[in-house]
Structure formats: C-alpha cells, structure tokens
C-alpha cells in the first residue's frame, strides 16, 4: 500500500513545484514549501491591495507589515525590534521601508536614550484602522464561511513559527558550508 501522501485521488503524487526535491526522505516537506510559496505570494498581494483599498496605494508588502508592527501596542519600536519580530536579516530593507513610511507621514522617528525609534502617527493609525475594516469585511468573513476552527488555525500558526526555526538553523548550516 502506498504511503499517505504518495498519491492523490487520481494517482498524482504530492502537489509540489519541484519533483526533484519531493523525491527525498520527506516529500511532505516539498508539499509544504510549495504551499508556503503560494500562500506567501497570495498574502503579499492581499496586504498591498487591502492597504490600497484602505486609501494608501503604493506600499510594498514589507512596508505594510512594518506599519502594522509599529502600530502594535502603540509603543515605539527600534530597528532591531522590527527586524527581530519579522525575522529580517537585511536591516537596510527595513531602514528603506521606514524612510518611505515616514515620507508618507505614517510613522515618525524618535529616540529612546541613544537608540533611534519609530512610532506610528495619527495618520498611520487611521490607515491601519481602515485596513482592519477592509480586512474584516473581505477576508475575515470569507475565512469564517469556510468553517475553519480558530483553534486549528492557531495550531497551524504555531507549527509554522516552529518550522521557521528549522529553516533558520538550516540556513546557518548552509552559510557555514
């Protein structure tokens, strides 16, 4: 009898983008990677279009994510905070995004001791609020209609965060090779 994910209902193998990578000790990992790729691209497209619908066109996915993170708990964030939370190595990408957000009047620079910080502006709060309203109307209601269990979604999120650590460790290993 074939393994659980060896063949789909019509006899196809796992749904992957790279059969040569699925031909390994864990084909399900290739299936997950393809799903992550599709999800990541859909998510990035969504955040940009949602922010556009909220009235702020022209932001990149990273800029939208940073804006929401800076708004999180309405406390100023340092560059290191933002990079750590979003798991971004390239600080110049975050610096560039912060300058662009500041240029739009969405965040403002400040200081906490010697450390440079960034905080949300009232304009930034307004756009985040509108984004949340669009998200509630278009995404949350749609996902609710799927009948997905919120606890299962939380477990999936925890699993993905845990797997990110495995990818980080593998990346360190690859860099050291």
Per-domain residue ranges of the chain = 52-146, 149-177
Tens digit of each residue's pLDDT (9 = 90 or more) over 43-74 = 999 999 999 999 999 999 999 999 999 999 99
If you average pLDDT over every residue of the chain, what do you get?
Answer: 92
- Whole-model pTM: value is 0.88
**Confidence category of residue 6, pLDDT binned at 50, 70, 90:** low
When computed from its CA atoms, the radius of gyration of the chain, rounded to whole angstroms, is: 20
For the domain covering 52-146, report its CATH number. Answer: 1.10.10.10
| Separation of alpha carbons 26 and 174, rounded Å | 19
How does pLDDT run across 105-155, given as a tens digit for each residue? Answer: 999 999 999 999 999 999 999 999 999 999 999 999 999 999 999 999 999
């Amino acid at each position: 009898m074939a393994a659980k994910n060896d063949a789909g209902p019509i006899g196809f193998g796992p749904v992957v983008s790279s059969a040569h990578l699925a031909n390994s000790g864990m084909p399900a990992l290739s299936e997950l990677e393809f799903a992550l790729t599709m999800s990541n691209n859909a998510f990035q497209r969504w955040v940009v279009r949602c922010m556009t619908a909220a009235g702020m066109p022209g932001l990149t996915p990273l800029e939208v994510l940073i804006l929401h993170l800076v708004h999180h708990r309405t406390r100023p964030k340092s560059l290191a905070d933002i990079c750590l939370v979003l798991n971004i190595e390239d600080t110049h990408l975050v610096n560039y995004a912060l300058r662009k957000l500041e240029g739009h009047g969405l965040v403002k620079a400040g200081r906490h001791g010697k450390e440079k910080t960034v905080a949300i502006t009232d304009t930034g709060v307004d756009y985040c609020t509108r984004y949340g309203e669009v998200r509630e109307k278009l995404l949350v209601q749609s996902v609710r209609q799927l009948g997905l269990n919120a606890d299962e979604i939380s477990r999936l999120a925890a699993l993905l965060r845990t797997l990110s650590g495995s990818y980080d460790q593998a990346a360190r290993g690859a860099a050291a090779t």
